[in-house]
């Protein structure tokens, strides 16, 4: 299948740190009419999983992780304008999103943020390394319907828990739904800290957020 071949081209290019071929594969995917979301799952997420495994096995080191992240950012710039729904302006509700304190990973968060906006949510993106105090301040000022937190590092998971405690201490926990995403997050953790939902991927996350606003 052509989409598998193009996904493979992207994966090989990313693993070989070949920015030009990776961008060409994305452009090819678009010109072949491949759904950008499908391409993100088949090519981008898969490439990053391979890079992550190589990093874990000490075949790759930090420079490769950084380079792969740069390639993915450029790839997303090519794909984003072709994601359906970008033209919608429905205002389904307001979402504050950010990556937990001490965590700099933002590729997944940015994808989620992009899709939430494409679905019609107003999204306030606080970026990476967001302290519990900063989340609290934003919830106080923005009064969102949903707070969405991302974290990819096991060691930064306690910061998610600290954020929920800080919200409770500030009397801001009631009235908002809280969704947590990122590879190390489990349902048990979400239940333990008293968040409302776990999102295993962007589709699951967007579906749960839409469910909360009655869609
Ligand atoms: C790229 C990358 C980096 C880049 C990040 C660049 C960037 N701007 O994001 C850089 C080079 C900076 C980096 C640094 C580090 N990294 Co890193 N990194 C990765 C890598 C390869 C890919 C992550 C990624 O973007 N995945 C693709 C996206 C699309 O997937 P995702 O983030 O999981 O998001 C999806 C879902 O989880 C979900 N989701 C995520 N968040 C949310 C939130 C909400 C609300 C919702 C609804 C859904 C949702 O939806 C997304 C789309 O479906 C992973 C390996 C891997 N397989 O994940 C390691 C990985 C996460 N990194 C790791 C480590 C250890 C580090 C460092 C500590 C390395 C070091 N020694 O310095 C530093 C930490 C720096 C810091 N303080 O944050 C480990 C973490 C291990 C752990 N569990 O603790 C991993 C797993 C690699 C490994 N196998 O060892 N890293």
DSSP per residue over 67-111, as a string?
HHHHHHHHHHHHHGGGSTTTT------EEEEEEBTT----HHHHH
Strand order in the sheet with 94-99: 122-125, 94-99, 146-150, 177-181, 197-199
Q: What is the pLDDT of residues 152-184, one digit of tens each?
A: 999 999 999 999 999 999 999 999 999 999 999
Average pLDDT rounded to a whole number, residues 3-24: 97
Topology of the domain covering 2-82: 1.10.1240
The H-or-E segment that residue 146 falls in is: strand 146-150
Ligand 1, atom 2: nearest CA belongs to which residue?
65
Domains of the chain: which residue ranges? 2-82, 94-212
Ligand 1, atom 49: nearest CA belongs to which residue?
181
Centre of ligand 1 to C-alpha 105, Å, is: 5
Q: What is the pLDDT of residues 59-87, one digit of tens each?
A: 999 999 999 989 999 999 999 899 876 55
Place of tokens 């969704």: 179
Of 13, 70, 78, 12, the C-alpha closest to 40 is 78
Q: What is the pLDDT of residues 100-141, one digit of tens each?
A: 999 999 999 999 998 898 888 999 999 999 999 999 999 999
Atom of ligand 1 nearest to the CA of 209: 47
Task: Return the CATH superfamily for domain 94-212.
Answer: Cobalamin-binding domain (3.40.50.280)
In angstroms, the Cα distances linking 122 to 67, 93, 97, 111, 142 are 31, 6, 11, 15, 11
pLDDT value of residue 214: 82
pTM: 0.91
The DSSP code for 130 is B
Atom of ligand 1 nearest to the CA of 66: 11
2-82 and 94-212 share one fold: no
Phi and psi at residue 149, to the nearest 5°: -120, 135
Does ligand 1 have an atom closer than 6 angstroms to the CB of 152? yes
Three-class SS of residue 149?
strand
Does ligand 1 have an atom closer than 6 angstroms to the CB of 58? no
């Amino acid at each position: 299948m052509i989409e598998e071949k193009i996904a493979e081209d992207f994966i090989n290019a990313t693993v070989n740190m070949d920015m030009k071929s990776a961008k060409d594969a994305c452009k090819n995917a678009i010109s072949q009419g491949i759904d950008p979301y499908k391409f993100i799952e088949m090519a981008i997420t898969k490439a990053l999983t391979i890079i992550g495994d190589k990093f874990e096995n000490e075949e790759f080191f930090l420079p490769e992780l950084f380079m792969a992240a740069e390639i993915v950012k450029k790839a997303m710039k090519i794909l984003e304008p072709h994601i359906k729904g970008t033209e919608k302006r429905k205002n389904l509700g307001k979402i504050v999103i950010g990556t937990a304190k001490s965590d700099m990973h933002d590729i997944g968060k940015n994808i989620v943020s992009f899709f939430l906006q494409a679905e019609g949510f107003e999204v306030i993106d606080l970026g990476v390394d967001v302290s519990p105090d900063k989340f609290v301040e934003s919830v106080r000022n923005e009064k969102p319907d949903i707070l969405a937190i991302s974290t990819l590092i096991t060691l930064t998971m306690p910061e998610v828990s600290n954020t929920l405690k800080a919200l409770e201490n500030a009397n801001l926990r009631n009235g908002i739904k809280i969704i947590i995403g990122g590879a190390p997050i489990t349902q048990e953790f979400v239940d333990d800290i008293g968040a409302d939902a776990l999102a295993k991927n962007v589709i699951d996350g967007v579906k749960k957020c839409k469910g909360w606003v009655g869609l």
